[in-house]
C-alpha cells in the first residue's frame, strides 16, 4: 500500500486548464518576433525574444552566475560545477508534467523562456558565447561537467546532436565530460547510440516518478502529457547496454505519493542493473500543477537520502533494510557504528547526480536550492557543516 492510499490529502495534481488557441505553441513570441540580442535574462515586463536552439540554450541561474554572464551571488556557495544547458524554443516543452515549471499548460500565462524551473530562472545565452567562455578557461574551468537537458519537442533530438558536436569540437570531453538528460518520448535506440558515438559520457532518464501509477498521474494521461513508463524504461535499458555500467542513471523525485520502500526498491533495481539514481526532494514549483501540495517532510527525505547513499555507494542492500507498515525505513540494514560514520561524513545529504572531479560520490550537478529554499535545505550543494549536521540529525531523530 502506498502513502498515496494512506494519505487524507493525496498528492493529486490540479487539472490543466484550456489554453486559448492564439496563445498555443509560442504564438505570442513568434508573432512579436523580437530579435534576440545576446544574453536574455528572464523578465516578465518586456517582450520575450524569439530564441531557438541550437543557436540559443538556457542555463540555470547558478550556471549563468558561474559562467559570468549574469551578476549575482549564491547563499553559502560561489559556483556550481555543472553547466546545464536546456534546449529552448518559443513553443517550449510539449509535455505537461505536473510538478514541472516548464510544462505546456503554462503557455497562456508565461512565455517559455521566462518560466521558472526547479525554483530558479533560466537565462538564455547564445551557444557560441557559452562555448567560447568555457573553451577559453580550458582546464581552469569551474565546471566539472556539462549536461544537455532535452525537452519534449520535435527538434530536440537533432538539436541535442548539434549542441554536442559544437561543444566537443572546441572542448575535450575528457576535460569536461558531457551528460545527457534525455527525453525518451521522442527517442529511439539509434539516437542513444549516436549520442554515445559523439562522445557523451553519461546518459540519464528522468523517470521522476517512483512507480508506474505516479508516473501516469503526474506525467502521463493524468495531465494530458505524452510520456509513458514503458517507453522511459525501454530507453533506460538501451542506455544500459550502450553506455555501460556506471554510465547511465535515472532521476527520481521523492515525495509525490510513493512510500520510502517504493523509492528504495527502485534505487536497488537501478544499482543491480549497473546504474545510479539521482534524487530530488519534491518541492511545489510555483505555477506548476502541483504548486498547492506540501513539500516532502524532511524526516522522510533524510531517511531516503541516507538509504539511497548506502545502496548506491556502500553496497548495503534494500533487502537488508526494514520498513514499517507505512513503508518508512525503520532499520538501514547496517551496523550502528558504520551508520554513524556515514551520517557524520555528511556526503549522503549532498545533492546527488553525475560525478564531478572531487569524488565518485560527490555530484558535479549540485543544483543550489533547486529542491528547497536556502532556509530549509533539502539537498546540500556543499559539504554540510556542524550546524547543518545537527539539523540533519534532528530530522533523522538521531542524537
Binding site for ligand SF4 (CB under 6 A): 93, 95, 97, 100, 102-103, 151-152, 219
The residue among 251 and 393 lying less far from ligand SF4, judged by its C-beta, is 251
Helix orientation angle between 156-170 and 189-197, rounded to the nearest 10 degrees = 10
Q: Shortest approach of ligand SF4 to residue 206 CB, angstroms?
A: 6
The residue among 95 and 354 lying less far from ligand SF4, judged by its C-beta, is 95
Q: Shortest approach of ligand SF4 to residue 117 CB, angstroms?
A: 7
Q: Which of 247, 215, 245, 217 is nearest to 232 (CA)?
A: 215
Q: Shortest approach of ligand SF4 to residue 13 CB, angstroms?
A: 12
SS (H, E, C) 158-205: HHHHHHHHHHHHHCCCCCCCEEEEECHHHCCHHHHHHHHHCCCCEEEE
Q: Shortest approach of ligand SF4 to residue 273 CB, angstroms?
A: 22
The residue among 97 and 362 lying less far from ligand SF4, judged by its C-beta, is 97
Q: Which of 204, 223, 131 is nearest to 171 (CA)?
A: 131
Q: Shortest approach of ligand SF4 to residue 100 CB, angstroms?
A: 3
CA atoms 313, 245, 148, 15: torsion sign = negative
Q: Shortest approach of ligand SF4 to residue 135 CB, angstroms?
A: 28
Bridge partners, 265 (sequence order): none
The residue among 106 and 303 lying less far from ligand SF4, judged by its C-beta, is 106
Q: Shortest approach of ligand SF4 to residue 95 CB, angstroms?
A: 4
Instruction: Check if the beta carbon of residue 119 is closer than 8 Å to that of residue 377.
Output: no
Residues 364 and 221: their CA atoms lie apart, in Å, by: 34
Q: Shortest approach of ligand SF4 to residue 151 CB, angstroms?
A: 5
Residues 271 and 260: their CA atoms lie apart, in Å, by: 17
The residue among 212 and 346 lying less far from ligand SF4, judged by its C-beta, is 212
- What cell does 329 get? 525505513
Q: Shortest approach of ligand SF4 to residue 113 CB, angstroms?
A: 13
The residue among 206 and 377 lying less far from ligand SF4, judged by its C-beta, is 206
- Total residues found in the chain within this entry: 399
The residue among 114 and 348 lying less far from ligand SF4, judged by its C-beta, is 114
The residue among 23 and 360 lying less far from ligand SF4, judged by its C-beta, is 23
Instruction: Check if the beta carbon of residue 109 is closer than 8 Å to that of residue 30.
Output: no
The residue among 227 and 276 lying less far from ligand SF4, judged by its C-beta, is 227
Q: Shortest approach of ligand SF4 to residue 192 CB, angstroms?
A: 17
The residue among 59 and 151 lying less far from ligand SF4, judged by its C-beta, is 151
Amino acid at each position: 500500500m502506498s502513502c498515496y492510499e494512506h494519505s487524507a490529502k493525496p498528492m493529486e495534481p490540479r487539472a490543466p486548464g484550456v489554453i486559448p488557441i492564439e496563445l498555443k505553441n509560442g504564438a505570442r513570441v513568434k508573432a512579436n518576433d523580437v530579435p534576440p540580442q545576446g544574453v536574455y535574462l528572464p523578465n516578465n515586463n518586456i517582450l520575450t525574444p524569439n530564441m531557438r536552439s541550437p543557436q540559443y540554450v538556457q542555463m540555470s541561474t547558478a550556471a549563468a552566475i558561474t559562467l559570468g554572464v549574469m551578476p549575482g551571488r549564491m547563499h553559502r556557495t560561489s559556483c556550481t560545477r555543472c553547466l546545464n544547458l536546456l534546449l529552448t524554443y518559443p513553443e517550449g516543452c510539449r509535455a505537461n508534467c505536473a510538478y514541472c515549471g516548464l510544462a505546456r499548460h503554462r503557455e497562456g500565462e508565461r512565455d517559455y523562456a521566462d518560466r521558472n524551473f526547479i525554483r530558479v530562472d533560466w537565462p538564455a545565452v547564445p551557444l557560441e558565447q557559452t562555448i567560447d567562455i568555457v573553451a577559453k578557461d580550458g582546464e581552469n574551468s569551474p565546471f566539472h561537467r556539462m549536461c544537455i537537458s532535452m525537452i519534449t519537442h520535435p527538434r530536440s533530438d537533432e538539436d541535442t546532436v548539434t549542441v554536442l558536436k559544437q561543444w566537443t569540437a572546441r572542448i575535450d570531453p575528457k576535460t569536461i565530460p558531457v551528460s545527457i538528460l534525455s527525453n525518451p518520448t521522442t527517442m529511439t535506440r539509434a539516437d542513444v547510440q549516436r549520442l554515445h558515438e559523439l562522445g557523451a559520457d553519461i546518459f540519464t532518464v528522468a523517470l521522476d516518478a517512483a512507480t508506474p501509477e505516479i508516473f501516469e498521474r503526474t506525467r502521463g494521461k493524468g495531465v494530458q502529457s505524452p510520456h509513458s513508463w514503458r517507453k522511459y524504461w525501454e530507453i533506460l535499458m538501451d542506455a544500459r547496454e550502450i553506455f555501460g555500467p556506471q554510465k547511465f542513471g535515472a532521476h527520481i523525485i521523492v515525495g509525490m505519493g510513493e512510500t520510502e520502500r517504493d523509492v528504495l526498491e527502485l534505487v536497488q533495481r537501478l544499482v543491480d542493473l549497473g546504474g545510479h539514481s539521482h534524487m530530488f526532494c519534491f518541492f511545489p514549483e510555483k505555477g506548476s500543477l502541483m504548486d498547492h501540495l506540501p513539500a516532502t517532510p524532511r524526516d522522510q527525505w533524510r531517511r531516503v537520502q541516507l538509504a539511497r547513499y548506502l545502496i548506491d555507494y556502500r553496497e548495503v542492500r534494500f533487502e537488508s533494510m526494514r520498513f514499517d507498515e507505512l513503508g518508512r525505513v525503520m532499520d538501514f540494514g547496517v551496523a550502528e557504528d558504520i551508520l554513524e560514520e556515514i551520517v557524520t561524513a555528511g556526503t549522503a545529504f549532498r545533492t546527488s547526480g553525475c560525478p564531478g572531479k572531487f569524488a565518485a560520490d560527490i555530484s558535479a550537478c549540485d543544483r543550489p536550492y533547486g529542491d528547497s529554499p536556502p532556509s530549509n535545505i533539502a539537498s546540500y550543494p556543499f559539504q554540510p557543516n556542524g550546524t547543518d549536521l545537527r539539523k540533519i540529525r534532528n530530522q533523522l531523530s538521531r542524537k
